[in-house]
Structure 1
């Protein structure tokens, strides 16, 4: 009789647990999509600004790459504008490679979206 009670518990607990995990995962995916769309919309509604700036620092963040999986690298550059504020942007590897710390020029951006840096 002891095994029967355990079996009954497992048959009622496991589906509830799997359903809960499924709902959490789907909820996280939906939250990520909605957040991305919200940021995209906010950027589109922000003014496009071109301001004098200089490159303060560059960094790259690499993730993955263990076993048979490939590594992914994201590139970030921090600019300082005339007011002293610093802004970090995610950018493509080709644009990242064309910038050096200390470069001075005109930074164009829209919200959190990097558009270009025209080096002087």
Structure 2
């Protein structure tokens, strides 16, 4: 395989490779959008429940923030209900700050969507 043969191979393979990678990235974004819409719809069709629970633990996940980019933080709380089952729900920053591990109260949620927690 001479130099010209390699150039011809790369000239014909390059556009195919770029198109394939672009299609994979585009497909991933479409998949994530459909998955998000499906979860949103499932939550909307779930009943709103208010049950006794206590806060087992809290955690925060931060990403980004290197160089000139800003950081993003997501907050989660794990609740345990009377049956012993646990569920981790995403909560807002204000709610996260107001919750303390060991809090006992009434948890209101809809599917995987946290709505509120009222301490006793």
TM-score range, shorter chain: over 0.9
SS at match of 1:60: strand
Question: How many pairs does the alignment contain?
Answer: 120
Gaps of 5+ in 2: none
TM score, norm. by length of structure 2 = 0.97
Query: Could you tell me how far 1:3 is from its partner in structure 2?
Result: 2.1
Q: Which residue of 2 aligns with 1:87?
A: 87
> 1:50 and 2:36 equivalent?
no
Q: Which residue of 2 aligns with 1:111?
A: 111
Distance 1:87 1:107 in 2: 11
The two structures, once aligned, show a CA RMSD in angstroms of 1.0
List structure 1 runs of 4+ shifted beyond 4 angstroms. Answer: none
TM score, norm. by length of structure 1 = 0.97
SS at match of 1:55: strand
Q: Which residue of 2 aligns with 1:63?
A: 63
Alignment deviations for residues 21-63 of structure 1 (CA, whole Å, 9 cap, x no partner):
0000000000000000000000011111000000000000111
Alignment deviations for residues 64-107 of structure 1 (CA, whole Å, 9 cap, x no partner):
11111111111000000000000100111011101000111000
